[in-house]
């Protein structure tokens, strides 16, 4: 498979100039191993703890393991030998030269527990999520900051047409194939079979590791019900009732899906307006390919039809902005806004003291009416907010109002 440059590469090179150790976490099959091997290809040896013999040696005799595998070293899947981290700490304290230890891990609970206990102050922790549209197109824009990305959305319509005039990827194709590197880069792969294998091999394995689930059929039903709710406000009581489990069990299972990078939660934005705000988070699948597979909408001709189309497109856009933050080493300052009197904004990005309101539409035909919620928001919020943006399935930007413009869905 051809290498697709990642935005995180730029961040990694910057971090490795100062930290003696680096841990990259993220979903399985997101490309962590390939990225670390690329970063350290001419300087670091490589060892994977998925290899049973090496994992057993690391657990039984960590000093010998490190003697056999001295730094500079890449340790893949460090969560399989968390006790090794305390010995790496000792090695770091003896030589704090930057960039000697590169590690990956796919279960953040296990990885972070060991990092917190052993390597605090010595390690940088970054996340590699799935491919963004720009990465899939071979243009990761690693030198662009979040501020750069947001500033470009404030440019005039004509200027945006000049600087971002490349051909739009197919939205329906993106929804069903998603951003996992393997099915995205290799079009000959059957994406349904790939997703089925991913769920069986990784999601269920992580479930068994992190949580004792008595009936995997119940968990699979829970997973499918979550997929059907992507882009919606989370109601744990309804989710538990439809699955046939208790609310505490549903909460526990949801935490496992978060820990295994299957879903993430978007919190509401709070301003001091009392009880008008709905306080539950919104639930999103980390990738639309898994969501469309689990809901049976895994054909391009059906993905953009029916009542779930808007939620799937919203999942893609919100997930795209999350990647933009995480791959630049920044904490996502992202929210949604919804009040009981009907005002709803799909996504709010807070940056440099300003709020950037975003609406997301599955339509290919935008009209001034699509700016209505944004105009209400702008009138209410005043000077602290920037111009509103509508993301839609359009080939080029369109001005909807002097303070609102629509842009192509992939402009993140």
Q: Round to whole Å and give the CA distance between 141 and 31.
A: 18
The three-state (H, E, C) secondary structure of 101-117, written as one string: EEEEECCHHHHHHHHHH
**pLDDT score, position 370:** 96
The CA radius of gyration of the chain, in Å to the nearest whole number, is 22
Maximum distance among all Cα pairs of the chain, rounded to whole angstroms: 68
**pLDDT score, position 107:** 67
Q: Per-residue confidence of the chain (412 residues) as pLDDT tens digits?
A: 577 899 999 999 999 999 999 999 999 899 999 999 999 999 999 999 999 999 999 999 999 999 999 999 999 999 888 889 889 999 999 999 999 999 998 766 666 666 766 777 788 999 999 999 999 988 888 889 999 999 888 775 555 454 444 456 799 999 999 999 999 989 899 999 999 999 988 777 777 667 766 677 888 899 999 999 999 999 999 999 999 999 999 999 998 898 889 999 999 998 654 444 568 999 999 999 999 999 999 899 888 987 899 999 999 999 999 999 999 999 999 999 988 777 899 999 999 888 999 999 999 999 999 999 999 999 888 767 778 999 999 998 999 999 999 999 998 8
CATH topology for 8-127 is: Rossmann fold (3.40.50)
Q: Round to whole Å and give the CA distance between 411 and 391.
A: 8
**pLDDT score, position 165:** 44
**pLDDT score, position 162:** 44
Alpha helices in 43-201, H assignment, sequence order: 52-60, 62-68, 84-94, 108-118, 133-136, 146-153, 157-163, 171-177, 181-185, 191-198
Phi, psi of 310 (to 5 degrees): -60, -40
**Domain-wise residue ranges, the chain:** 8-127, 133-408
Q: Round to whole Å and give the CA distance between 387 and 355.
A: 9
**pLDDT score, position 109:** 60
**pLDDT score, position 259:** 83
And the tokens for 388?
């509103």
Residue of 360, 395, 355 whose CA lies nearest to 378? 355
Which residues, at least 6 apart from 177, have a Cβ–Cβ distance to it below 8 Å? 183, 184, 191, 289
**pLDDT score, position 379:** 87
- Strands, sheet with 45-48, edge to edge from the N-terminal-most edge strand: 45-48, 73-76, 101-105, 21-25, 123-127
Which residues, at least 6 apart from 143, have a Cβ–Cβ distance to it below 8 Å? 10
**pLDDT score, position 158:** 55
CB atoms within 10 A of CB 250: 22
Q: Round to whole Å and give the CA distance between 165 and 148.
A: 17
pTM over 0.85: yes
Task: Look at strands 398-401 and 404-408 and give their pairing.
Answer: antiparallel
Cis peptide before 401 (omega within 30 of 0): no
**pLDDT score, position 80:** 87
**pLDDT score, position 386:** 76
């Amino acid at each position: 498979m051809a290498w697709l440059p990642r935005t995180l590469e730029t961040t990694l090179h910057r971090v490795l100039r100062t930290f003696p150790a680096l841990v990259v976490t993220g979903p399985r099959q997101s490309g962590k191993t390939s990225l670390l091997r690329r970063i350290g290809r001419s300087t670091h040896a490589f060892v994977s703890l998925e290899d049973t013999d090496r994992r057993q040696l690391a657990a039984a005799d960590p000093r010998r393991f490190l003697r056999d595998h001295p730094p500079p070293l890449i340790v893949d899947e460090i969560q399989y030998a968390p006790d090794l981290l305390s010995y790496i700490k000792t090695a770091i304290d003896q030589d704090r030269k930057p960039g000697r230890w590169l590690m990956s891990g796919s279960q953040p609970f296990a990885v972070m527990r060991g990092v917190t206990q052993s390597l605090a102050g010595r390690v940088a922790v970054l996340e590699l999520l799935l491919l963004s549209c720009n990465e899939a197109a071979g243009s990761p824009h690693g030198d662009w900051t979040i501020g750069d990305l947001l500033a470009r959305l404030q440019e005039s319509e004509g200027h945006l047409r000049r600087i971002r005039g490349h051909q739009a990827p197919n939205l329906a194709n993106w929804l069903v194939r998603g951003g996992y590197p393997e099915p995205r880069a290799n079009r000959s792969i059957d994406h349904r079979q790939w997703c089925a294998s991913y769920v069986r091999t990784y999601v269920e394995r992580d479930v068994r590791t992190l949580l004792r689930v008595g009936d995997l059929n119940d968990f699979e039903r829970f997973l499918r019900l979550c997929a059907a709710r992507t882009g919606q406000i989370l109601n744990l009581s309804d989710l538990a009732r439809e699955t046939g489990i208790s609310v505490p069990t549903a909460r526990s299972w949801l935490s496992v899906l978060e820990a295994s990078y299957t879903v993430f939660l978007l919190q509401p934005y709070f301003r001091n307006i009392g009880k008008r705000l709905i306080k539950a988070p919104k639930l999103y699948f980390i990738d639309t390919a898994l969501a469309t597979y689990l809901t049976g909408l895994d054909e391009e001709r059906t993905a953009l039809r029916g009542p779930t189309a808007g939620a799937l497109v919203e999942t893609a856009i919100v997930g795209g902005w999350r990647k933009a933050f995480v791959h630049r080493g920044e904490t996502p300052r992202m929210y949604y806004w919804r009040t009981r009197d009907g005002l709803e904004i799909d996504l709010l990005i807070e940056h440099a003291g300003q709020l950037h309101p975003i609406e997301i539409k599955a339509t290919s035909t935008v009209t001034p009416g699509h700016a209505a919620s944004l105009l209400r928001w702008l009138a209410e919020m005043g000077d602290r907010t920037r111009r509103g943006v509508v993301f839609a399935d359009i080939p080029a930007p369109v001005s909807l109002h002097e303070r609102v413009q629509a842009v192509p869905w992939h402009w993140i």
